[in-house]
């Protein structure tokens, strides 16, 4: 009896509902925002001007990681890494992103976070922007781009009324509801499991930025009544419904995994009417605040169902903020979406890949803590595997390190801690970070900020960039000429990580294609720049 009394007391101290049976493992929700900058979250950037009360609440109830990074500074490769625990540059996608009609990037038979958790008894669902490819039924004799965004002619090469194969439900998700890719790409419709929810009888394009003459999305097939401002509310509604529908099973011992990749605040920047003007800094700020509210609605559902304490929530972003948010205008108003970090989405600089990363699990993790633990979004896979007691096989999670010890504060468990991380930019330029040192294997941004690849600003620059991120987090001083020994050491480390096919311990694996990290991606730069001396396309006119 004394043991029972102590157990009930412990539950009470943890704020848990003692009348409900605790699941053997926590429910897991991964909220992946789209183009949310590190500086957009008030808990990470006190100088930020957007109100983000729900992001901040999550940080107060968990661990805010201040040195967390996406595997890439654009979205498709990062999403691949989140679900597989493997760097996407090991696949055949070496630069840029997929389109809305591209075939599936995740290889047949590869274990994903969803399939891993499903094997451990979880209900699994994905609600949101997929952007990892799915196989649409092509019209006879027609094709679509495999590793790039479809051309204007290709948007009509698909039978949209036919079932879709090799989508989210083929990689471990029991249920899917969402959009196929970024909301500036066709098709403009919702998909449920393997079918569009309405026939695409219209041809539509949408403003890229509400209230601003900033171009339009790609013209293509659309469902009647489909609006860009309606997408985030619909994804929010579906996510809340899923939590409510899964709560009884969770209380009964069958937990759930919800992967919630949002469409916001990526272009089209289209906050709902009730959010327009809320930030007083323009519609990008409004959209960030509405994104924060989506998290709040999901957390409120967990509270209502009395399962919040037994739910692990990850809040993060696929890369840094896009320049389409209009950095100069926001900075004039005192807000920098990248915080103190240089660059933005698409770049090798930290503004491209250092992302918000907040993890809260009231029943199992520390609360109100900031951690400098080096983390990558690929690490979600290994962390969840450790939580459920599964050791990944050699052919899974090759670049995933568990950060569970940083969550719990277990200072004795230092085995398998991440010490280095690799990123790549939109044009396929590579970066490696080891300790305080960061080496970029290119002379330029690799993306959209200056010096842009192929621009006159990049001419004559050293072929690599070395920064001391402890002393120079804004990457102002290139030290490659002062520390050739560090350049050599990090280059050798990068060689090893490429040749082994993994960065974790285990049997060597094969990359899908040859990986040349010593670019500076000359062939890719030529494709992006068009000709020597020309800058890459203006991202404001060519969204991705």
Question: Per the domain annotation, does 121 fall within a domain?
Answer: yes
Question: Per the domain annotation, does 1 fall within a domain?
Answer: no
Cα separations in angstroms, 395 against 86, 170, 418, 510: 10, 18, 19, 10
C-alpha span between 351 and 36 (Å, rounded): 11
The last residue of a domain, from among 420, 447, 469: 420
Which domain does 288 fall in, by range? 25-420
- Considering the domain architecture, whether residues 453 and 399 belong to the same structural domain is answered as no
- Considering the domain architecture, whether residues 184 and 256 belong to the same structural domain is answered as yes
386 phi, psi to nearest 5 deg: -65, -40
Question: Per the domain annotation, does 224 fall within a domain?
Answer: yes
Q: What is residue 90's DSSP assignment?
A: G
- Considering the domain architecture, whether residues 425 and 353 belong to the same structural domain is answered as no
User: What is the structure's pLDDT at 214?
Assistant: 85
- Considering the domain architecture, whether residues 439 and 519 belong to the same structural domain is answered as yes
CATH code at 461?
3.30.1120.10
- Considering the domain architecture, whether residues 89 and 126 belong to the same structural domain is answered as yes
Question: Per the domain annotation, does 41 fall within a domain?
Answer: yes
CATH code at 367?
3.40.720.10
- Considering the domain architecture, whether residues 425 and 497 belong to the same structural domain is answered as yes
The last residue of a domain, from among 362, 388, 420: 420
- Considering the domain architecture, whether residues 189 and 76 belong to the same structural domain is answered as yes
- Considering the domain architecture, whether residues 327 and 196 belong to the same structural domain is answered as yes
Q: Among 6-10, 333-337, 403-407, name the one with the lowest average pLDDT.
A: 6-10
C-alpha span between 36 and 315 (Å, rounded): 11
In terms of DSSP H, where are the helices of 363-483? Answer: 379-387, 404-408
Question: What is the average per-residue pLDDT within 112-133?
Answer: 98
Residues near 474 by beta carbon (within 8 Å), at least 6 away in sequence: 340, 341, 342
Question: What is the average per-residue pLDDT within 25-29?
Answer: 97
User: What is the structure's pLDDT at 6?
Assistant: 39
Name the token pair of 259: 């992967």
Q: How many domains, the chain?
A: 2
In three-state secondary structure terms, 128 is strand
Question: What is the average per-residue pLDDT within 449-467?
Answer: 96
- Considering the domain architecture, whether residues 387 and 483 belong to the same structural domain is answered as no
Question: What is the average per-residue pLDDT within 413-437?
Answer: 92
Percentage of the residues of the chain whose pLDDT score is greater than 90: 88
**Of the candidates 25, 26, 67, 22, which has an alpha carbon nearest to the alpha carbon of residue 44?**
67
Measured distance between the N- and C-terminal CA atoms of the chain, rounded to whole angstroms: 62
Map tokens 């943890």 to a residue.
14
Map tokens 């509270």 to a residue.
303
Q: At 411, is the pLDDT very low, low, confident or very high (cuts 50, 70, 90)?
A: confident
- Considering the domain architecture, whether residues 214 and 84 belong to the same structural domain is answered as yes
The last residue of a domain, from among 363, 398, 420: 420
Question: Per the domain annotation, does 17 fall within a domain?
Answer: no
Of 97 and 14, the one with more pLDDT: 97
Task: Tally the residues of the chain.
Answer: 544
Question: What is the average per-residue pLDDT within 515-519?
Answer: 88
Map tokens 């568990």 to a residue.
402
C-alpha span between 366 and 173 (Å, rounded): 29
Per-residue pLDDT tens digits for 498-512: 999 999 999 999 999
- Considering the domain architecture, whether residues 521 and 393 belong to the same structural domain is answered as no
Question: Per the domain annotation, does 156 fall within a domain?
Answer: yes
- Considering the domain architecture, whether residues 94 and 242 belong to the same structural domain is answered as yes
**Is pLDDT at 308 greater than 70 in this prediction?**
yes
Question: Per the domain annotation, does 536 fall within a domain?
Answer: no
Cβ-contact 366, 14 below 8 angstroms: no
Assign residue 257 a region: left if phi > 0, alpha if psi is -120 to 50, beta otherwise?
Answer: beta
User: What is the structure's pLDDT at 410?
Assistant: 84
Name the token pair of 122: 């979880």
For residues 182-206, one letter each, b for 16 or more C-beta atoms within 10 angstroms of the residue's C-beta and e for the rest, the string is bbbbbbbbbbeebebeeebeeebbb
Question: Per the domain annotation, does 148 fall within a domain?
Answer: yes
């Amino acid at each position: 009896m004394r043991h029972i009394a102590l157990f009930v007391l412990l539950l009470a101290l943890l704020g848990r509902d003692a009348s409900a049976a605790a699941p053997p493992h926590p429910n897991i929700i991964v909220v992946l925002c789209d183009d949310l900058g590190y500086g957009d979250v008030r808990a990470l950037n006190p100088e930020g001007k957007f109100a983000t009360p729900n992001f901040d609440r999550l940080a107060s109830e968990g661990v805010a990681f201040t040195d967390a990074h996406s595997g890439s500074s654009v979205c498709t490769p990062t999403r691949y890494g989140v679900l597989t625990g493997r760097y996407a540059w090991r696949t055949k996608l070496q630069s840029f992103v997929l389109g809305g009609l591209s075939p599936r990037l995740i290889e047949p038979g590869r274990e994903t976070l969803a399939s891993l958790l499903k094997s451990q008894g979880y209900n699994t669902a994905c609600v949101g922007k997929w952007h990892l490819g799915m196989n649409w039924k092509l019209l006879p004799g027609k094709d679509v781009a495999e590793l790039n965004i479809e051309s204007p002619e290709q948007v009509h090469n698909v039978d949209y009324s036919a079932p879709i194969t090799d989508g989210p439900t083929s990689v471990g998700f029991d249920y899917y509801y969402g959009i196929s890719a970024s909301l500036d790409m066709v098709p403009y419709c919702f998909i449920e499991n393997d079918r569009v929810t309405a026939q695409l009888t219209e041809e539509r394009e949408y403003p890229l930025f509400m209230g601003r003459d900033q171009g339009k999305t790609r013209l293509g097939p659309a469902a009647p009544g489909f609006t860009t401002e309606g997408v985030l509310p619909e994804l929010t509604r579906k996510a809340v419904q899923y939590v409510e529908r899964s709560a009884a099973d969770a209380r009964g011992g069958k937990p759930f995994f919800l992967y919630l990749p949002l469409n916001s605040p990526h272009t089209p920047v289209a906050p709902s009417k009730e959010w327009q003007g809320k930030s007083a800094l323009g519609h990008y700020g409004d959209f960030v605040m509405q994104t924060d509210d989506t998290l709040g609605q999901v957390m409120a559902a967990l509270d209502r169902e009395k399962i919040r304490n037994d739910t692990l929530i990850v809040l993060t972003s696929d890369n840094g903020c896009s320049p389409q948010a209009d950095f100069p205008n926001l900075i004039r108003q005192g807000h920098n979406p990248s915080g103190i970090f240089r660059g933005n989405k698409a770049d090798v600089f930290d503004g491209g890949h250092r992302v918000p990363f907040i993890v809260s699990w009231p029943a199992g993790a520390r609360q109100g803590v900031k951690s400098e633990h080096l983390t990558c979004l690929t690490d979600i896979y290994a962390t969840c595997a450790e939580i459920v007691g599964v050791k990944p096989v050699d052919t899974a999670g090759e670049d995933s390190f568990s950060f569970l010890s940083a969550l719990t504060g277990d200072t004795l468990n230092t085995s398998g801690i991440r010490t280095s991380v690799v990123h790549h930019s939109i044009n396929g330029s590579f970066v490696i970070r080891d300790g305080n040192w960061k080496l970029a294997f290119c002379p330029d941004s690799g993306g959209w900020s200056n010096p842009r690849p192929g621009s006159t600003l990049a001419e004559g620059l050293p072929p690599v960039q070395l920064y001391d991120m402890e002393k120079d987090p804004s990457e102002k001083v290139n030290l490659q000429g002062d520390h050739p020994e560090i350049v050599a050491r990090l280059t050798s480390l990068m060689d090893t990580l490429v040749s082994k096919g993994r960065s974790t311990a285990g049997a060597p694996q094969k990359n899908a294609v040859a990986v040349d990290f010593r670019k500076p991606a000359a062939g890719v730069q030529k494709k992006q720049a068009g000709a020597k001396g020309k800058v890459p396309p203006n991202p404001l006119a060519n969204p991705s």
